[in-house]
Structure 1
Amino acid sequence: MTNEVYQARWPTSGEEREARTVLVRLYGEGVELFFDREDDVRTFECMSRHGHGPRLLGRFPNGRVEEFIHARTLSAADLRDPEISAIIATKLREFHNFDMPGPKSVLIWKRLRNWRKTAKSLCSSDEAKEFCLDSMEEEITALGNEFSGGRERIGFCHNDLQYGNIMIDEETKLLTIIDYEYASFNPAAYDIANHFCEMSADYHSEKPHVLDYTKYPGEESDAEEVENLIKSIEKYTLASHLVWGLWGIISEHVNDIDFDYKEYARQRFEQYWLKKTTIVTAQTAE
């Protein structure tokens, strides 16, 4: 939904004449509005050096060449498979513990403010009113204040852990997380919340922009530590909805990929207001 990705194959000159296979990534339109491409490449190279993803083989002005991973990309149903979900949890903990060089400050609130300004600059006044972009700054500030001062675990987060960014070797069950364009340091609970939200999506259905929130996980736990984490994740789901709602608005104006970004954004914002009411009611009851 952001880039175009191709598999390139050609025969080698060896005796067995096996084909060489690489992945060619063409950057999507307007991606510079979401992240710094040089930061993305530095992250990609660092993860690669430490064995966490494909190798970077080459670069050109609007894309790059990567090592082709011989593994299966997960499907929407895989995210709700208990066995696969347990493997993802283990891998995500490893990801959060990765000591990525550079600043380790939380990025989520700065990203939300920057994307809100960008979305407003691209929207018509009617669109801005429809999506409440003027009042959204207050929502972002309120969310930030809600989490400030807490003892949260901060780690290097993927921030876009949808099923298309996870690959698994069917034989070894080794799992690889790919595509670090939105990766940064953030609360680990936010990364998990974002992953839970992605369980509502099936980007290979007839209507890939339509989300089914009945598939969002929500089981209670008896363990106090786990229960506290679940509550934190629930609140960070709000931030996830705002992030990808704003992403949808911006993408609608800059990307030509065949995807209904505006309707996707509308669903994320609707879930934000529904979820916010539920969470506020629950907190009041406590």
Structure 2
Amino acid sequence: MSNRESVCFLPEMETVVLPLDVEIKEEELEIGANIILTSVRPSWNSKEILFKVFTDGITNKLIGCSIKENPSDVVLVRVYGKNSDLLIDREAEKENFKLLHKAGFAPRLYATFKNGLAYEFVPGNVINVDTVKAPTIYPLIASMMAKIHTVHRDMNASPCLWYKIEKQLKLIPSVYTSKNKQLIFEETFPNGIEFLWKEFVLLKSILSKENSPIVFCHNDLLLANIIHQGNKITFIDYEYASCNYQAYDIGNHFAEFSGVTEMDYSLFPGEDFQRSWLRIYLEEYYNITSPSRVVSEEDVSTLYQQVNRFVLASHLYWATWALVQGQHSSIDFDFIRYGAERMKEYEIRKRKVL
């Protein structure tokens, strides 16, 4: 593993996590979850366990497990998507999980197994395209992101962004094994992979000069990864977390306002909303890192410009990710067209911010 990839690896945490020598088949989630539960919840009667399969994710398989006597105690068992380890550092994910739990920002990780994790369920409501802009909710999200960004501070850290995009570009197949997928790729990416490489070089040359702080980032704050309960916000799923540009994490979150399965880019937040969000974020961020500093209008304007430029990097990242997933994932999702939609929006926004 290269130093660049591991620069953000986090130290061993105190939380005890059970390492289980088990592998679960995607098509046998309940059987596999039962095996995990014999270690994680040994007192549960296997005949009384209730299962709920979650179908929203486009990377992994997820199943919730509980019993009638104590319905609030829900164990989530996540099985990694096929070949997802090509794109995700699973060891780093485990350490990130434990670090954030110790900091009070993440649920408990109960166990790891060969191709997945078992962890605590977070009760609450999943954020949607309406609630993400609600006046009582978005300030909580902005503040939580600022807190996450100060969890693991390393002034010598390198951003993961460029390494990961380059890695994904190299993993895009020259020809898809599925003839139908190859036809879709040729239809939606008429200029081929060369166009993506060209944009990667351009973005890296421009955004590397933005002087955005390198912080510990979630890197995947789509709406389904944000849970709201009362006055508390919890970010879930840390498989993409790593050190990265501050402005990227925020810009990526704003890009996700448009949704995933049915994207509507008219929902991208406008300038007034963004500036309000960014001021709240900076107030929390400076309160932790520089308590005597007062947020100025210039601070907000600088971050606003950086964030909207890094939105481009978000689109390029997830487009290249999707093209790799299109070859390897067993999940029923049109990854190639998703990638094409991200690049279509990339072109529109590029004309506005570069």
Aligned length: 267
Specify the alignment match of 2:302 in structure 1.
Answer: 228
Letter of the 1:199 partner, please give it: F
Specify the alignment match of 2:122 in structure 1.
Answer: 69
Q: Say which of 324, 333, 354 aligns to 1:259.
A: 333
Aligned equivalents of 1:140, 1:198: Cα separation in 2:
20
Letter of the 2:341 partner, please give it: Q
Q: Say which of 37, 54, 62 aligns to 2:90.
A: 37
Specify the alignment match of 2:229 in structure 1.
Answer: 169
Specify the alignment match of 2:263 in structure 1.
Answer: 211
Letter of the 1:89 partner, please give it: A
Aligned equivalents of 2:200, 2:216: Cα separation in 1:
21
Instruction: Check whether the contact 2:75–2:121 (CA below 8 A) recurs between aligned residues.
Output: yes
Aligned equivalents of 1:67, 1:131: Cα separation in 2:
45
Specify the alignment match of 1:190 in structure 2.
Answer: 248
Cα displacement string for residues 1-29 of structure 1 (whole angstroms, at most 9, x for unaligned residues): 11111111136xxxxx5354211111111
Q: Name the % identity.
A: 31
What SS is found at the alignment partner of 2:215? Answer: strand
Structure 1 residue runs of 4 or more that deviate by more than 3 Å after TM superposition:
17-20, 100-103, 120-129
* Matching of residue 269 in structure 1 with residue 329 in structure 2: no
* Matching of residue 4 in structure 1 with residue 4 in structure 2: no
Gaps of 5+ in 2: 1-57, 276-295
Gaps of 5+ in 1: 12-16, 281-286
Task: Flag the 1:104–1:121 CA change in 2: closer, same or farther, 3 A.
Answer: farther
Specify the alignment match of 1:245 in structure 2.
Answer: 319
Aligned equivalents of 2:266, 2:237: Cα separation in 1:
27
Worse overlay, 125-134 or 47-56: 125-134
Specify the alignment match of 2:198 in structure 1.
Answer: 138
Q: CA deviation at 1:101?
A: 7.6
Q: CA deviation at 1:76?
A: 2.5
Task: Flag the 1:100–1:44 CA change in 2: closer, same or farther, 3 A.
Answer: farther
TM value normalised by structure 1: 0.86
What SS is found at the alignment partner of 1:182? Answer: coil
Q: CA deviation at 1:34?
A: 1.0
Q: Say which of 28, 31, 40 aligns to 2:81.
A: 28
Letter of the 1:217 partner, please give it: P
Aligned equivalents of 1:106, 1:235: Cα separation in 2:
16
Aligned equivalents of 1:101, 1:272: Cα separation in 2:
31
Aligned equivalents of 1:168, 1:150: Cα separation in 2:
32
Letter of the 1:108 partner, please give it: L
Aligned equivalents of 2:107, 2:155: Cα separation in 1:
21
Specify the alignment match of 1:283 in structure 2.
Answer: none
Instruction: Check whether the contact 2:225–2:237 (CA below 8 A) recurs between aligned residues.
Output: yes
Instruction: Check whether the contact 2:326–2:335 (CA below 8 A) recurs between aligned residues.
Output: yes
What SS is found at the alignment partner of 1:2? Answer: coil
Q: Say which of 147, 150, 156 aligns to 2:207.
A: 147
Task: Flag the 1:138–1:39 CA change in 2: closer, same or farther, 3 A.
Answer: same
Worse overlay, 140-149 or 123-132: 123-132
